[in-house]
């Protein structure tokens, strides 16, 4: 019990308020729109999962498994086949693989992972692979008759690479997650506009975007603190200085 409590020792008021706010928002909107309970489950577990990822907590993978299964069902009903394939073929096994690698590289007691950063040449290779993957997978999704194939391809391919970076604890993952979230918000806004449903999924992706921006800051801060450098905020939360 004490070990579980230690997971939340480093949570500030913002962390708690942010999580509670989006949880309540999803529950309220799901009641107003009479949302499918599976979509609600996907949204809630998704938000709890990404908040824990932003905090560098291995516990995120427990919620991740539930989110993958529930979200896949919702995406299938909207014919976002790229999203379905991504979740069931890739994300589901990656929950267990990620848990293994994070568990091997976490601080005892706090459950916070040791964070790494990529070299510039490796960042360039990632960009090249992203461009190739989006182009090829977009052709495949067009052949399948999926909705918004190249948008779907962008979300899928970026997510695959971001998840790999996340598994191996690279802080550059957050740049990709931010792009994924923007693309996904657009896709689910189209779905909501057409059918007046899946509002909780749309809110979930919006929460993901804010969380990804916050997660980028947290991981940047943790990365330098784990290497003995103090990171402080001056004037604005996005302007960081290292000491």
Q: What is the pLDDT of residues 188-239, one digit of tens each?
A: 888 788 776 667 788 888 888 998 999 999 999 988 888 876 655 443 444 4
**Residues 115-169: pLDDT tens digits?**
999 999 999 999 999 999 999 999 998 988 877 888 888 888 998 999 999 999 9
- Structural domain total, the chain: 1
Q: Is residue 44 helix, strand or coil?
A: helix
Q: What pLDDT, on a 0 to 100 scale, did the predictor assign at position 207?
A: 86
- Percentage above 90 pLDDT, the chain: 40
Q: What pLDDT, on a 0 to 100 scale, did the predictor assign at position 109?
A: 66
* Cα–Cα dist 72/37, whole Å: 14
Which residues 6+ apart lie within 8 Å of 150 measured at CB? 134, 138, 141, 142
Which residues 6+ apart lie within 8 Å of 237 measured at CB? 217
Tokens 């693989």, residue located: 97
- 54-83 per-residue burial string, b: 16 or more CB within 10 A, e: under 16: bbbbbbbbebbbbbbbbbbbbbebbbbbbb
Q: What pLDDT, on a 0 to 100 scale, did the predictor assign at position 232?
A: 53
Instruction: Name the residue range of residue 191's domain.
Output: 2-242
Closest Cα to residue 29, out of 47, 10, 55, 14? 47
Q: What pLDDT, on a 0 to 100 scale, did the predictor assign at position 187?
A: 83
Q: Is the CB of residue 78 less than 8 Å from the CB of residue 198?
A: yes
């Amino acid at each position: 019990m004490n070990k579980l409590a230690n997971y939340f020792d480093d949570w500030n008021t913002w962390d708690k308020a942010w999580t509670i706010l989006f949880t309540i928002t999803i529950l309220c909107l799901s009641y107003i729109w009479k949302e499918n309970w599976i979509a609600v489950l996907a949204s809630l577990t998704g938000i709890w999962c990404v908040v824990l990822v932003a905090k560098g907590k291995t516990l995120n993978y427990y919620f991740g498994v539930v989110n993958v299964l529930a979200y896949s069902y919702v995406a299938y009903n909207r014919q976002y086949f790229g999203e379905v394939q991504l979740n069931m073929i890739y994300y589901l096994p990656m929950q267990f693989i990620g848990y293994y690698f994070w568990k091997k590289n976490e601080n005892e007691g706090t459950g916070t992972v040791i964070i790494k950063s990529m070299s510039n040449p490796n960042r360039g290779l990632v960009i090249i692979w992203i461009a190739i993957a989006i182009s090829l997978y977009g052709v495949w999704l067009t052949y399948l008759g999926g909705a918004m194939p190249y948008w779907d391809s962008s979300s899928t391919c970026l997510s695959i690479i971001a998840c790999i970076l996340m598994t191996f604890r690279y802080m550059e993952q957050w740049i990709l997650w931010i792009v994924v979230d923007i693309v996904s918000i657009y896709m689910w806004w189209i779905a909501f506009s057409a059918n007046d449903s899946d509002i909780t999924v749309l809110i979930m992706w919006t929460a993901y975007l804010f969380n990804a921006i916050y997660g980028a800051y947290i991981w940047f801060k943790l990365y330098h603190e784990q290497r003995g450098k103090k990171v402080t905020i001056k004037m604005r939360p996005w302007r960081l200085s290292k000491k």
